[in-house]
Structure 1
Amino acid sequence: MSHQETDPTPHELWLVRHGETEWSRDGKHTSITDLDLTETGVEVARALAPQLAATSFDQVLTSPRTRAWRTAALAGFPDAEVDEDLAEWAYGEYEGVTTPEIRESVPGWTVWTHPSPGGESAAQVAARLDRVVRRAREVPGRTLAFAHGHSLRVLAARWLGLPATDGRLLRLDTSTVSVLGFERECPAVLRWNA
């Protein structure tokens, strides 16, 4: 029997995407622009509190962006530790621009398949989020991370041992909870976009 099967402490990484902002609602790429939550975003973030209160966490982390740490606070975790590695994928010149607008000059563009001029590459985002995976796996028990759509999708792909670009397969809505863990010794998705 493996250590994972006999260890009563679950080794999990819980992910919460921040609540709605004006730009997330409107489909604009948002990384370094530090937007706050909309009224709807605040309400839904507060609604996460009872769901998360039922679980104990050994480590709680948040992106440095207001929309993430405010979601953490409203969900009952005002003392979440800021981790710069959880920041959203840097979109460079595409900050504040929608995918249809980008595709007017770059047909077929996606953050997963094309560069973002002045922004981060998939490899750069993966390197940051690999550090979060290591950090979460060093803590016996559960880690809770509040962050962003693309960064959390890359984080999930890296947890699973997949290339960062496979995050494209994992749709992630605002104010949702996802859980990564293990099936025996194999990294697995336990719950997604719930």
Structure 2
Amino acid sequence: MADNEALTPRVFIVRHGETEWAKAGRQTGKTDLDLTPLGVKQVQTTASVFVGTAKLLDPAKLAHIFVSPRKRAQQTLQGLLGGELAGAGVEVTTTEDVAEWDYGDYEGMVVSEIRARRRKNGLDDEGRVWNVWRDGCEGGETKEEATERLDKVVSAIRDIQRPSMKGGRPADVLVVAHGVILRGFVMRWLGYPLEMPLNMMLAPGAVGILSYKNNNIEEPAFNVGMAIPIMD
């Protein structure tokens, strides 16, 4: 990679591993679920390939970790860094600001059930179907509320990384959270409204990478593809 790219701080986003509800397509907000055995293996595989000294996500280069308080995210963080977490001396912030979207009355439902309920309640019709980014959730979170908390995290990360835009003290940041809220985080990182149509996917246990163009804190970007570090 180019020298300036190597110096620019990055933000790694990691979705927690599989849960039983995620496997079934059920909306999982505040419900506190453990990872499935497959979910544990997903995280372990991610860690073995991408996490470690001189690997893509090097604990020695981490300045801060933001993690959801839900068990599935906490278990994922431990699976990623394990014993390295204590020795790295990285500050860890457990915060509701990166918890999954609050689905309210839709908790535990699948999308088809939500859309049928909303039609029955007169909220949607055949020409307009539920979209969490636009419509939020009955009894749960609105797009404005989700935007407000995500913007707090984006601002905090910019404050951490601003002094290190051209090298110096390592300032990578790790965010361990959930599928929907992490996609929302990407939107707000780029300055886009949550409802802007931009289809994204993030598999259980997957790693995404955000950073900045031109070593410039005012040019947030995402990496469409990241080169694997070359071992000396």
Find the structure with the greater CA-based Rg.
2
Identical-pair percentage: 35
Counterpart Cα distance in 1 of 2:6 and 2:25: 42
Q: Where does residue 80 of structure 2 map in the other structure?
A: 75
User: Shift of the alpha carbon at 1:110?
Assistant: 2.1
* CA deviation profile, 1:121-144 (whole Å, cap 9, x unmatched): 111001001111111111132100
Which 5+ residue runs of structure 2 have no aligned equivalent? Answer: 87-91, 119-124, 162-170, 226-232
Q: Does the residue aligned with 2:223 lie in a helix, a strand or coil? A: strand
Counterpart Cα distance in 2 of 1:114 and 1:122: 7
In structure 2, do the counterparts of structure 1 residues 164 and 119 end up closer, same or farther at CA, with 3 Å as the change threshold? same
Matching of residue 166 in structure 1 with residue 196 in structure 2: yes
Q: Where does residue 189 of structure 1 map in the other structure?
A: 222
User: Shift of the alpha carbon at 1:114?
Assistant: 2.1
Q: Where does residue 14 of structure 2 map in the other structure?
A: 16
Match among 76, 86, 103 for residue 98 of structure 2: 86
User: Shift of the alpha carbon at 1:44?
Assistant: 0.7
In structure 2, do the counterparts of structure 1 residues 86 and 115 end up closer, same or farther at CA, with 3 Å as the change threshold? closer
Counterpart Cα distance in 1 of 2:213 and 2:77: 28
Question: What's the TM-score, normalizing by structure 2?
Answer: 0.75
* CA deviation profile, 1:84-119 (whole Å, cap 9, x unmatched): 211011000000000011122335112123231110
Number of residue pairs matched by the alignment: 188
In structure 2, do the counterparts of structure 1 residues 168 and 29 end up closer, same or farther at CA, with 3 Å as the change threshold? farther
Contact 1:112 1:168 in 2 (8 A): no
Contact 1:136 1:143 in 2 (8 A): yes
Matching of residue 49 in structure 1 with residue 47 in structure 2: yes
Match among 101, 105, 127 for residue 113 of structure 2: 101
Q: Does the residue aligned with 2:18 lie in a helix, a strand or coil? A: coil
Counterpart Cα distance in 2 of 1:155 and 1:170: 12
Query: Superposition RMSD on alpha carbons, in Å?
Result: 2.0
Q: Which amino acid aligns with 1:180?
A: L
User: Shift of the alpha carbon at 1:72?
Assistant: 0.5
Contact 1:150 1:167 in 2 (8 A): no
Counterpart Cα distance in 1 of 2:39 and 2:133: 26
Q: Where does residue 58 of structure 1 map in the other structure?
A: 63
Which 5+ residue runs of structure 1 have no aligned equivalent? Answer: none
* CA deviation profile, 1:68-95 (whole Å, cap 9, x unmatched): 0100101115564312211011000000
Match among 134, 148, 151 for residue 130 of structure 1: 151
Q: Does the residue aligned with 1:72 lie in a helix, a strand or coil? A: helix
Q: Which amino acid aligns with 2:205?
A: S
